[in-house]
């Protein structure tokens, strides 16, 4: 098991078993004595006692606490606005986000907007800068995959589109990593969120904006996930495995926050919008379908990925596809896609060329056209 540590990443990290119990001290450092805290979480954590534990840790340190828990996957812009409004009306001094990527994404944007008063859609796709000077905010991830605890991006949805906001002020003031908070995650979700982290790392190490520093971080995350994610899936209570996976997912977030992601995430977002496919499953399937094209365009980078995935000495880019699929097999990854067909492939490909997804698509080393992408997605659907 990794020992407890602190690390001055772009977002300060604090790691350790039961680290949640020091949350009150963290809030005091950021917002002062007797701070009023808005705890943003989801119905799962109000039901399983985690929200109560967090509120208890805050109360023991003399802080007030109210809870917002109306969070769903792919949070709506209206949800972000509701969090922001509750923080304003309560006079909150700090926001604590405890949950998966959806909770963290919604809460960090709301923390920026609470003093400002404008709605989330105002800041979609970077058209308007996210305001500085928001409320202090702490991330407490309970899944290991999205990297939202260390990124400058917030993903949210409207009735029509999956959008994002981006800005320096979206960085959390602290990411609190407690492996014990992830042990209740079911095996299929452990696998799916871990695959999201793996795809972040692979795309960061191979995309057009890769650089030696981010690639070194990303390749380390790949090696760690390849070794420890199967253990976390097979043995959910293994906190050593959980801790390694949590750290790897966070480091993958540090890497792709610098480089961006690529085609698998463009397809993944489009699949989620078109068919409601869980994000981890969507990006995992999309990478399996596109990795051979991308590897041809970035051979040196993908040779390093092959080695990190456990390939033999001298592993080549061409081996990355089979090694990645072996990894998916090791974690029992769900490769089914339901009732999708060729017409869906064309619609999904079209969504990839919309502005909200184009930035990811164009980050890939391989240049896809609407026709080639549609054929690739159709093959993915047919094979699933």
Q: Mind listing the pLDDT tens digit for each residue in 78-108?
A: 999 999 999 999 999 999 999 999 999 999 9
pLDDT tier for residue 159 given thresholds of 50, 70 and 90: confident
- Cβ–Cβ under 8 Å, residues 143 and 106: no
- Cα distance between residue 337 and residue 285, in whole Å: 9
Kindly tell me the sign of the dihedral angle through the C-alpha atoms of 342, 344, 347, 349: negative
Predicted pLDDT at 300: 96
Q: Is 180 helix (H, G, I), strand (E, B) or coil?
A: helix
CA–CA gap between residue 269 and residue 283 (Å, rounded) = 8
Residue 196: its H or E element: helix 187-206
pLDDT category at 246 given cuts 50, 70, 90 is very high
Give the pairing type, strands 137-141 and 94-99.
parallel
Rounded to whole angstroms, the Cα distance separating 121 from 188 reads 32
Whether the pLDDT of residue 120 is over 90: the answer is: yes
How far apart are the C-alpha atoms of 378 and 372, rounded to whole Å? 10
R_g of the chain, CA atoms, integer Å:
20
pLDDT tens sequence across 2-32: 667 555 568 999 999 999 999 999 999 999 9
- Of 238 and 381, the one with more pLDDT: 238
The arithmetic mean of pLDDT across residues 281-305, rounded, is: 96
User: Which of 77-81, 160-164, 172-176 has the lowest average pLDDT?
Assistant: 160-164
pLDDT bin (cut points 50, 70, 90) of residue 160 is confident
Cα angle value 59/135/150 (rounded, 5°): 95
pLDDT at 72: 87
What is the percentage of the chain residues whose pLDDT exceeds 90? 89
Residue scoring higher pLDDT (319 or 341): 319
The answer, yes or no, to whether residue 371 has pLDDT greater than 80, is yes
Residue whose pair of structure tokens reads 């905010």 in the numeric block: 137
Per-residue pLDDT at 133 exceeds 90? no
Structure confidence by residue, pLDDT tens digits, 313-326:
899 999 999 999 99
Tokens of 374: 């549609």
Give me the residue label for tokens 């097979």.
Answer: 234
The answer to pTM > 0.85 is yes
- Strand 12-15 versus strand 174-177 pairing type: parallel
**Average pLDDT rounded to a whole number, residues 184-200:** 96
Contact of 233 with 191, CB cutoff 8 Å: yes
pLDDT tens, residue by residue, 43-67: 999 999 999 999 999 999 999 999 9
Contact indicator for 30, 135 with CB cutoff of 8 Å: no
Angle between helices 212-234 and 299-308 (to 10 degrees): 30
3-state secondary structure of 369: coil
pLDDT score for 310? 97
């Amino acid at each position: 098991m990794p020992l407890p540590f602190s690390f001055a990443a772009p977002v300060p990290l604090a790691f350790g078993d039961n680290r949640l119990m020091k949350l009150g001290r963290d809030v005091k450092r950021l917002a002062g004595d007797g701070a009023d805290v808005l705890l943003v979480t989801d119905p799962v954590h109000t039901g399983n006692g985690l929200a109560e534990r967090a509120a208890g840790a805050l109360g023991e340190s003399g802080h007030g606490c109210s809870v917002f828990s109306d969070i769903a996957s792919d949070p709506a812009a209206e949800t972000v606005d509701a969090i922001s409004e509750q923080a304003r009306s309560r006079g909150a001094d700090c926001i604590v986000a405890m949950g998966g990527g959806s909770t963290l994404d919604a809460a960090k944007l709301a923390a920026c907007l609470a003093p400002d008063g404008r709605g989330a859609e105002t800041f979609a796709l970077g058209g308007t800068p996210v305001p500085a000077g928001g409320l202090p905010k702490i991330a407490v991830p309970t899944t290991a995959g999205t990297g939202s605890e260390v990124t400058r991006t917030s993903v949210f949805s409207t009735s029509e589109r999956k959008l994002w906001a981006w800005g320096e002020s979206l960085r959390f003031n602290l990411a609190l990593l407690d492996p014990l908070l992830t042990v209740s995650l079911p095996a299929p979700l452990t696998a799916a969120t871990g695959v999201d982290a793996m795809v972040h790392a692979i795309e960061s190490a191979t995309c057009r904006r890769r650089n030696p520093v981010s690639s070194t971080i990303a390749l380390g995350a790949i090696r760690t996930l390849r070794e420890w994610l199967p253990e976390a899936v097979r043995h959910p209570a293994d906190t050593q495995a959980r801790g390694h996976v949590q750290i790897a997912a966070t480091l993958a977030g540090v890497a792709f926050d610098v480089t961006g992601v690529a085609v698998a995430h463009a397809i993944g977002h489009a699949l989620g919008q078109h068919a409601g496919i869980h994000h981890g499953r969507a990006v995992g399937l999309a990478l399996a379908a596109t990795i051979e094209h991308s590897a041809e365009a970035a051979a040196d980078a993908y040779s390093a990925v092959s080695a990190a995935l456990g390939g033999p000495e001298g592993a080549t880019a061409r081996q990355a596809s089979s090694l990645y699929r072996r990894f998916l097999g090791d974690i029992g990854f769900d490769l089914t896609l339901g009732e999708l067909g060729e017409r869906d492939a064309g619609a999904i490909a079209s969504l990839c060329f919309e502005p909200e997804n184009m930035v990811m698509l164009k980050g890939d080393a391989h240049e896809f056209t609407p026709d080639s992408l549609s054929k690739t997605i159709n093959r993915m659907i047919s094979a699933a």
